[in-house]
Amino acid sequence: MYEIILERDECTMCGHCVELDEEKFTFDSDDKATLVGSDREDNTDELTVEDASVYEEASDNCTGGCIEVYDEDD
Ligand code: SF4
């Protein structure tokens, strides 16, 4: 399993993640990106997933550097 983090304070609203996969990323009412299905604490979204491939690609292309992927098995 993988833990995905999106630090929304750092989001530049560039839209790359949403363009990559609109089922996994969307814009919230404040126009910053959010992880679909995530829990939010201190304006940071957290989500546990089995397949992190799309999130890793999103992280690589995130202009805010605010998407992180952690392998929980490590
Ligand atoms: S790619 Fe990063 S900076 Fe751009 S909208 Fe998504 S989370 Fe925000």
Contact assessment for residue 2 and residue 48, using Cβ atoms and an 8 Å cutoff: yes
**For the segment 12-46, what is each residue's pLDDT rounded down to a tens digit?**
999 999 999 999 999 999 999 999 999 999 999 99
Strands 2-7 and 25-27: unpaired
Residue 60 has pLDDT above 80, yes or no: yes
Q: Could you tell me the residue ranges of all domains in the chain?
A: 2-71
Q: Does position 73 have pLDDT exceeding 90, yes or no?
A: no
**For the CA atoms of the chain, what is the radius of gyration?**
11
Kindly list the protein residues whose Cβ atom lies closer than 6 A to any atom of ligand 1: 6, 11-17, 33, 62-64, 66-67
pTM for this one?
0.95
* Cα–Cα distance, 58 to 52 (Å, whole number): 10
Ligand 1 atom 2, closest CA:
62
Among 33, 11, 7, 8, smallest CA distance to 20 is for: 33
Pick the CATH number of 2-71 from 3.30.70.20, 1.10.287.90, 1.10.274.10, 3.50.50.60: 3.30.70.20
